[in-house]
Amino acid sequence: MTRVGVVGIGHTVFGRRSDATVQELAFEAYREALADGDVDPSVIDASVIGSVPEYHKQRSLAGVIQEYLDLNPRPTWLTEVACASGSAAIRTAWLSIRAGVHDVVAVIGCQKMTELTTAEILALMGRVGDVQWESVFGTTFPGYYAMFAQRHKHEFGTTNDQLSLVAVKNHYYGARNDKALFRKEITVEKAQASDPVASPLNVYDCCANADGAVCLILAAEDRARDLSDRPVWLDGLGCATASMSVLRRPDLTGLPSAADAAQQAYDMAGVAAADIDVAGVHDCFTIAEIMAYEDLGFCAKGEGGAFIQDKASYIGGSSPVNVDGGLKAKGHPIGATGVSQAYEIVRQLRGDCGERQVPDADVGLTHNVGGIGQYCFVNLFRRD
């Protein structure tokens, strides 16, 4: 079956984008992607929009964006799986191309979050958990991940210093990413002195809400080689789910959906964890990145704390992770996040990341989690 390649990429600055509507953000990323691949809009067969509609006043967001991009009457549709909506859009576009329905598809992840208050966002995110048995009792995203952190500390001796080291690394790289929300380095002392959120997590253990959009243009292999002289191939995809209720999970030290999705992607691409040269993982909280190291097989179960302490996830380490700053420093406009991860991996495999470049990167991975691990998408990219 045909391979699917990425031929164009575009990314807005993440942050409080009061200067643009959501469709204007989508256009900003789309225009950049067209120019990046020297793609004429007439070759786009369809678009897939990854976004969570509850954050916008506009319903049926895909139609508004399609109209603004002047892509009517070509088809468009929306994918939504909480914070993994962008990766779901990538997977859906890949499937339509592999099925022979379309040859060239624009994938756009976009979100405007800062028009809502923090309290409203927390309430919306809390409802991603089971609304009958959990969210009605006041569960929040930080509260869920605080439980993961407490259990990981209890079982494996993970320390608060190790959690803070994840934030230090990601802010170090975010300071070198002109698309990131936060572009300042921090220290362990500053991270641990920040206000408590949900013990043991402090402010610097938590990612920030943001506005932003990212676009990838995917194409079937023959079209990809016509449209780009350096396509990056999406060769492995994995997707898995877990129970909505966290209380039904057998283990609170990792995400079973992530381990399952990773194995699917490795098997499809014919690679192993040791073959991954650079990765973008879903570090919504510092403990989430530590669990991802283990779920993806970058280190053994329980060794994630030591992994960051040894700087194994830095450039020059065994598995560079989130060298764009991750969600933690780059920001988390939820519908855009999975596409943003892919954007970074494509740039890494092209060798375009300057001082953040992982040397000789051939294989890259994205790990995008929806909800509290109810959904997970793992995608593997490879250059020729």
Task: Kindly give the parts of the chain with pLDDT less than 50.
Answer: none
What is the pLDDT at residue 76?
A: 98
335: enclosing H helix or E strand? helix 334-350
Query: Per the residue annotation, which of 332, 353, 367, 376 is the catalytic one?
Result: 332
> Quick count: other Cβ atoms within 10 Å of Cβ 71?
18
- pLDDT tens-digit map of 236-258: 999 999 999 998 999 999 999 99
**Is the separation of the CB atoms in 4 and 219 below 8 Å?**
yes
pTM: 0.97
What is the pLDDT at residue 117?
A: 82
What is the pLDDT at residue 166?
A: 98
CATH of domain 128-209+235-383: 3.40.47.10
Q: In what order do the strands lie in the sheet with 46-50?
A: 76-79, 46-50, 104-111, 212-220, 4-11, 232-241, 375-383, 363-370, 278-280
The residues spanned by each domain of the chain are 4-116+210-233, 128-209+235-383
Q: Is 102 a catalytic residue?
A: no
Nearest CA-CA partner of 278 in 317, 245, 304: 317
Nearest CA-CA partner of 356 in 367, 344, 365, 368: 344
Query: Per the residue annotation, which of 11, 56, 83, 299 is the catalytic one?
Result: 83
Encoded tokens for 277 = 């040269």
Q: Is 239 a catalytic residue?
A: no
Q: Which CATH superfamily is domain 4-116+210-233 in?
A: Thiolase/Chalcone synthase (3.40.47.10)
